[in-house]
Chain A
């Protein structure tokens, strides 16, 4: 069993859809804004489930489902704006969609047809990081760059920016993350560490990794830490806005622990029933991030069935586009890697490319060359 659910976190909307007050944080947005979050969360969930299904049909090599973490992602991403810069981990699909990544293109990484499809196209968003926690260092470096570019602490708040980096509870056990904390504190870097504590580092419960709540680690590094109900999109937005604003003003880093739950598997290669109990999943099912917002808005009359049906139709459209688009993703040639690795390839890389092309051309007359190699590997020590 993971750490028992706690109440000492910032919550503005209960699982039953009731608004509650918090002494330090509040959400000022309109019902339209909240409905916008709801729509994003529902679309993100639909996208996520379609991608999971595509993997099961053999169309994707792997997929890390984000089911259950929609509020943590939409609530925080919606608090950013340029020149902020977001460093995701690999499960931040709702964030990627929010920032404008094309859902079909996003699949190309997981279909193995591209490394990082949005590398230069999406302003304000780094590529997915698959190495656990490494992106925290990139974010701190980027934040230090913002300082040196004069984009922090200006009188005009719109001129300021901050970096926000996403990682999981498991990543907090990594050296990289702790080093990032230290550097960020030492340089008062404008960076928000956004930890989605989804309770499980694959099969390791968070209780095995940390004897204290994660957000309290921040004080040891010398910056504030806040635990927020990660399934409450309003609270997440409020806390993230506070942390980003603080960072942009030059007050340094903050750690946000969004207390949430990964309802699905770690990835499609994982089987969570092997390590999680039914009771635990059910406990979290009742704290669903989407249903509480829907209940709240319906009770207020801000949305109706027509609105929900429209979103459903939009979901179906998205699903079909993703399903069909996935199959049209083009398989790249190895040659293309020489073009996208560095901006100016230089002589050595160009030589290597030519060498490769020559090598590749050498197979033209030997269509069976690959097959021979294959056989060769299987031939045992004969002599």
Chain B
């Protein structure tokens, strides 16, 4: 009993539609008999049988979309150990050419002998070639605009293939079986070459929006239909800016002003955010803001990415900001303190439990890295890496979020220049990172003064003014900025 797994019939395809089963359950097939027609985003192809035997079970229905590598048909090649057909190590099948009439129960010796010779390489091969180009099941292709023959009977394909062109092997779909995207007229490819200076347009240009693959990807990710986007690029091509503009427009367009209001219950993380933010807002805060040149830090990030220790880790500017904050806290410990008004005491925290505000699938969460101040850069990178994974998976635990002493919020990833955040409840300061952008920057003094283009970031620090004053906050932020401008200064801290 053998399972046939959907192969990748193109290069790097991840799925295909089952157009039509050519065989039915119970049919006897020979090696290379056509089993099924499938349609990929590239073509319609027919899949031949690797084995001779009887079709035991069709495992997917016509019209279904199947991932590459998934089993689609079970073929009884007559030697079956029906147990555990899915575990290749358990397969004790005979050679592929074993005729279907072979006795169902073979002598144990013979089975063992054939297992060593034939079954082993076969199962290995499945392990490494079927779906060789695919990485993740989460990747998905765009469905074809004009679906082909799904559901349409195509004709006696087996016959067509058998007498096609003197070979009894499937080479490609028979030409007169074309059911795909509008038939190409003979004239289309025979047109004269375009005159110099004119942009050549394929005959189908009117139907299909012109855009480069990355732009198509962007549109798909944003859920936009490219046909609805107006192209401003050369020859009417759609640029990524066009897509982004269209995305903003489509989002901004209010739903029909019916006057109705919908009510959504406030619960979970969002309710918690509402509660803690309101509570936190009772604390008198102030904010200091500073622009700084982070070019050297960006270079450092590049160098770290190239190092083997950091291979596989996500090294972002946030890592440098986090390290700089820890170092600056060491010089300005009150930033990392808590006010206990009930006891009228300042609670000094030895350790920095560094919180990172994260937009997660569940909403705003602030998990923190425990003892971040005791970590070297690599350990911090690993901790951040792990935190990203946990946060994106939505599995942040209560413990992850408890005991925070200082928080960083990076609104820069959303493209804004900066902000005045609200304290994470119980903490005394929160540092906000704006977007890092290439900006004009004045360097030098006097006659040497000149304007250069640098990577610039706006930092802000919102602090509990009951505990921290403007001087301390400014000193802290200046320290952070100094390290970012010249990471080498970290050695002085």
Q: Please give the residue numbers on chain A whose beta carbons come within 8 Å of chain B beta carbons, in ascending order.
A: 1-2, 45-46, 48-50, 52-53, 55-62, 65, 67-68, 111-112, 204-205, 207-208, 211, 263-265, 268-282, 285, 288, 290-291, 320, 323-324, 326-328, 331, 359, 369, 372-376, 378-383
Contacts and interface: CB of A to CB of B under 8 A. Distances in A.
A379 B316 CA distance: 13
A283 to B, nearest CB: 11
Contacts of B391: 382
Interface stretch (B45-53, B79-87, B474-482): B45-53
Contacts of B10: 268-269
The 3 closest A-B pairs by CB, nearest first: A58-B7, A271-B43, A49-B169
Given A67-B165, A274-B180, A327-B122, A57 B186 contact: no
A309 to B, nearest CB: 15
Given A61-B132, A67-B171, A285 B165 contact: yes
Interface in B1-19: 4-11
B178 A379 contact: no
B218 to A, nearest CB: 14
B60 interface: no
B35 to A, nearest CB: 10
A61 B312 contact: no
Interface string B125-136: 110111111011
B129 A378 contact: no
Nearest to B359: A382
Contacts of A263: 165, 171
B9 A272 contact: no
Contact of A53 (B8, B32, B124, B187): B32
A58 B392 contact: no
Contacts of B126: 58
Contacts of B178: 273-274, 278
7 contacts: A58-B6, A67-B171, A271-B45, A274-B184, A276-B184, A323-B96, A383-B358
Nearest to B39: A271
Nearest to A63: B171
B385 A376 contact: yes
A59 B169 contact: no
Contacts of A320: 97
B5 A205 contact: no
A211 B193 CA distance: 9
A288 B171 CA distance: 16
A1 B95 contact: no
B312 A369 contact: yes
Contact of B167 (A2, A67, A369): A67
Contacts of B9: 55-56, 268-269
Interface string B379-420: 000001100110110000000000000000010010000000
Contact of B318 (A1, A59, A278, A383): A383
Given A56-B48, A275-B184, A379 B128 contact: no
B11 A269 contact: yes
Nearest to A51: B169
A291 B166 CA distance: 9
B229 to A, nearest CB: 23
B121 interface: yes
Nearest to A370: B312
Contacts of B5: 58
Contacts of A290: 166
A264 B232 CA distance: 40
Interface in B180-208: 180-181, 184, 186-187, 189-190, 193
Contacts, number: 184
Contacts of A57: 4, 7, 47-48, 50
A323 B129 contact: no
A376 B193 contact: no
A281 B171 contact: no
Given A53-B32, A274-B181, A382-B359, A61 B169 contact: no
A61 B95 contact: no
Contacts of A276: 175, 184
Contacts of A328: 121
B376 interface: no
B392 A382 contact: yes
B461 interface: no
B389 A376 contact: yes
A7 to B, nearest CB: 20
A324 B125 CA distance: 11
A271 B43 CA distance: 5
Interface residues on B, range: 35 or more
B3 to A, nearest CB: 12
B455 interface: no
A271 B173 contact: yes
B91 to A, nearest CB: 13
Contacts of A381: 413
Contacts of A331: 128
A277 B187 CA distance: 10
Contact of B184 (A50, A270, A277): A277
B413 A383 contact: yes
B48 A53 contact: yes
A237 B140 CA distance: 50
B189 A275 contact: yes
A277 B186 contact: yes
Contacts of B356: 383
B332 interface: no
B312 A376 contact: yes
B171 A207 contact: no
| Interface hub of B166, B193, B308 (most chain A Cβ within 10 A) | B166
B458 to A, nearest CB: 17
Contacts of B57: none
A53 B180 CA distance: 22
Contacts of B32: 50, 53
B166 A288 contact: yes
A56 B170 contact: yes
| Interface hub of B47, B50, B172 (most chain A Cβ within 10 A) | B172
Contacts of B237: none
A273 B129 contact: no
B348 interface: no
B130 A58 contact: yes
Contact of B172 (A2, A50, A62, A264): A264
Given A67-B167, A272-B172, A56 B47 contact: yes
A291 B179 CA distance: 30
Nearest to B69: A58
B159 interface: no
B355 to A, nearest CB: 11
B169 A269 contact: no
A46 B121 CA distance: 23
A378 B167 contact: no
A204 B200 CA distance: 14
B129 A382 contact: no
Contact of B171 (A49, A204, A205, A208): A49
A78 B8 CA distance: 36
B291 to A, nearest CB: 21
B314 interface: yes
Contacts of A380: 392
| Interface hub of B32, B46, B96 (most chain A Cβ within 10 A) | B32
B118 interface: yes
B487 to A, nearest CB: 20
Nearest to B181: A274
Given A49-B169, A373-B312, A208 B11 contact: no
B171 A58 contact: no
Contacts of B136: 374, 378
| Interface hub of B6, B125, B131, B385 (most chain A Cβ within 10 A) | B125
